[in-house]
Chain A
Amino acid sequence: MTVAVKARPAARSGSRFPAVWLPLVGAATAVALWWLVTVAFDIRPFFLPAPPDVVTSFLKNPGYMLRESWVTTYESLLGFGIATVCGLAVAVMLAAVRAIERATMPLFVALNSVPKVALAPLLVVWLGFGPKPKIVMVVLICFFPIVVATMAGLSSTPVELSELGRSLSASWWQMFVKVRMRWALPQVFVGLKVAISLAVVGAIVAEISNPGQGLGSVIVLSGSSADTPLAFASITLLALISVVLFYAIVGLERLLLPWAREITG
C-alpha cells in the first residue's frame, strides 16, 4: 500500500521530465550521428561539413548572420501578419454571403493550385528588388491555408448550438459573433500553424530567386563561393527561426484557447 502511494508522484514527475527534454535529446542524437558520419567516412567539408565547421562558419561573422536572419524573420512575420488579417477578413466575407462564396471559390481554388514559387520572377518585375516582393510572396503562400481553415471552422458549428440559438431567437450577427466565430478559432489556428511554416519557405524562395538581403541571399552567396559550411550555418538558422515561430503560434493558441485541447481530445 505504502509502496503504491509513494510510487505515484515519482512516476508522474518522471514522465513530465522527458516530455520537455526528449525533443532536445533527439536533436542532439541527430547532430552526433551527423558528426560521426563525417568523421567515420572522412568526408570533406566541401561536401558535408561537420557540426564544428558549421559553428566556426557562423562565429566568423555572427553580427552579419544575425542581421540576415532578422531580415528573413521580419519578412516572414510581416507577410504572415498581412495574410492573417486578409485571410480572416476574406473567410468571414465568404461565410457571410453565399453568393460571394459561389462567385469566388472556383477562382480561389485555381489560384491556390498555382505554385507560388513560379511567381517569384514576376514579383521582381512588378515590385523591384527590395523586401517588398519577398513580403508579397509570403502573403501569397500563407493566405490560402488561413482562408480554407477559417471557412472550415465557420461551417463546423454543432447542430445543437445552432438549434439553441434559434430557440433563443438569436440574430444572424449574434450567432456569428458569440458562437460561430469562437467555435471556428481552433480551426483557424490549424491554418495559422500551416501558414507560419510556409511563411519562412516563402521568404527564402523569394530571396533565392532575387538575392539581396536575408538568409536566402546568404545561401546563394555561399553557393557561388563554394562555402558549404556557410550554407549549412544559414540552413541551421532557418530551421531555428521556423521552430521558434511555429511554437510561438502553438503557445498563443494554448494561451487563448485553453478549452480547445480539452474538447478535441
Chain B
Amino acid sequence: MIELVGVSQTFRARGHAVEALRDITLEVSEGQFVAVIGRSGCGKSTLLRLMAGLLSPTAGRVLIAGKPVTGPRRDVAMMFQRPALLPWRSALDNVLLPVEMFGLSRATHRRRAEELLDTVGLTGFHKRLPHQLSGGMQQRVALCRALIQQPRVMLMDEPFSALDALSREELSGELQRIHKELSATTVFVTHSIQEAVLLADRVVVLSEHPGQVRRILDITVPQPRSLGFNAHLADVSHLIAELHGLLLNRPD
C-alpha cells in the first residue's frame, strides 16, 4: 500500500543543509498497522509528511497504492499531535470539515459523522464547542474528522502525546478496535515504546542524525493487547525491553 524506496530528505536552512532522513526503504502492506518510533529529532514526522504529500523527497520515491505521491490525497487522512479543531465549530461541524473542503454535500455525510462520534463515545457531545471538551475528547473528534474521509491510509503524528497517561491508554484501546473494524493502512509515529507495542503489527525503529532505519520488529502478540495482566504479559514486557534497548543504547 505504501512504498518508500531509498528516500532521503535534506532541509536547507540559512545556507547550511540539515539531513533529516537518509536512504529509507520501507514497505507497508494493505491494512497493516506500523509504528515508527525514535527519539525526538530523528525525522519521524518528516517521514510522515513525505507519505502525506506535504513534502517531496530530496531523493528516492514515495508510492501509495502503486502511484507516486505528488501531493495530498483524499484517501489519505492525517492526524496531528494537537487536535487542530476549529474553536468556533461544534464537534459535529469539525468532523464535517473535510466534507466541506472536498466540496461534498454535508447533508449526506451528516449521519456518518454522527455515527463516528457515537462510536468513539461522544454521544451527547455533538453540539459542544472544542473548549467545552477535555483534551482526550478533542482528540477523539480529530480522529472522527480523519475517519470521515474514509481513508485507505491513516497517518498519525504522535496523536496521543499531549494527553495524560490514562486517556492515552484508553484512546489506544479505541484505536485498536477502530483499526480492526476499518482496517485502513496506518502509520503511527510515536516516541512511546508502550504505545508502539500495544498498537502495531510492525515497529520501525529509527536512529537519529540523520534518520535511518535501525531495525524493523514484527509483533505477533495477539490483539487486543493491554498493559494489564493477561496471558501475554511476558511477551509484551519482553518486546518493551527490547525496544528500550534499541532506543537507549547507542550503536557505538
Contact = CB atoms under 8 A, between A and B. Distances in A.
A225 interface: no
Interface string B63-103: 00000000110101110111010111000000001101110
A263 B54 contact: no
B85 to A, nearest CB: 9
Nearest to B131: A262
Nearest to A259: B87
A168 B102 contact: yes
A160 B82 CA distance: 7
B87 A263 contact: yes
Contact of B100 (A169, A178, A257, A262): A178
B84 A160 contact: yes
B34 to A, nearest CB: 19
Contacts of A178: 86, 97, 100-101
B39 to A, nearest CB: 22
B122 to A, nearest CB: 18
Contact of A161 (B84, B129, B130, B131): B84
B101 A259 contact: no
Interface in A159-194: 160-161, 163-170, 174, 178-179, 182
Given A168-B72, A168-B101, A169-B101, A259 B54 contact: no
A182 B80 contact: no
Contacts of B76: 167
A23 interface: no
A170 B81 CA distance: 20
Given A166-B72, A168-B72, A182 B52 contact: no
A182 B86 contact: yes
Contacts of B131: 259, 262-263
A258 B129 contact: yes
Contacts of A263: 87, 131
Taking each of A158, A259, A260, which has the highest tally of chain B beta carbons within 10 Å of its own beta carbon? A259
A168 B98 contact: yes
Contacts of A165: 101
Taking each of A164, A182, A257, A259, which has the highest tally of chain B beta carbons within 10 Å of its own beta carbon? A164
Contacts of A166: 54, 72
Nearest to B83: A160
Contacts of B52: 167
A179 B72 contact: no
Given A259-B129, A262-B131, A263-B131, A167 B88 contact: no
A166 B53 CA distance: 9
A160 B110 CA distance: 25
Contacts of A168: 72, 97-98, 101-102
Contacts of A160: 80-82, 84
A170 B101 CA distance: 6
A164 B80 contact: yes
A169 B54 contact: no
A169 B87 contact: no
Nearest to B155: A167
Contacts of A262: 87, 129, 131
Contacts of B98: 168
A175 to B, nearest CB: 9
Interface of A: 158, 160-161, 163-170, 174, 178-179, 182, 257-260, 262-263
Interface of B: 52, 54, 71-72, 74, 76-78, 80-82, 84, 86-88, 97-98, 100-102, 129-131
Given A168-B72, A178-B86, 8 more contacts: A160-B82, A160-B84, A163-B80, A165-B101, A168-B101, A169-B102, A258-B129, A259-B87
7 contacts: A160-B81, A164-B84, A165-B101, A167-B77, A257-B88, A262-B87, A263-B87
